[in-house]
Amino acid sequence: MHSAAPSSERHDLEAAGLRVTAQRLAALEALRVGRVHLTADQVFDEVHAHLGTVSTQAVYDALATLCAAGLARRIQPAKSPALFEARVADNHHHVVCRSCAAIADVDCAVGSAPCLEPSAADGFTIDEAEVIYWGTCSSCQDLAAATS
Q: Per residue of the chain (148 residues), give pLDDT as tens.
A: 444 445 799 999 999 999 999 999 999 999 999 778 999 999 999 999 999 999 999 999 999 999 999 999 999 998 889 999 999 988 788 999 999 989 999 887 665 665 667 777 788 887 777 888 899 999 999 999 998 8
Taking phi over 0 as left and psi of -120 to 50 as alpha, with beta for the rest, 21 belongs to: beta
* Residue 57: per-residue pLDDT: 96
* Residue 109: per-residue pLDDT: 64
Sheet containing strand 83-85, edge to edge, reads: 38-39, 83-85, 73-75
Q: What's the pTM?
A: 0.82
Q: Quote the CA–CA distance of 144 and 96 in Å, as a whole number.
A: 17
Cα atoms found within 13 Å of the Cα of residue 139, Cβ hemisphere only: 8
Structural domains of the chain, with CATH: 7-75 (1.10.10.10), 90-147 (3.30.1490)
Q: Quote the CA–CA distance of 51 and 1 in Å, as a whole number.
A: 10
List the alpha helices (DSSP H) in 33-108: 40-51, 56-68
How do strand 38-39 and strand 83-85 relate by DSSP bridges?
Answer: antiparallel
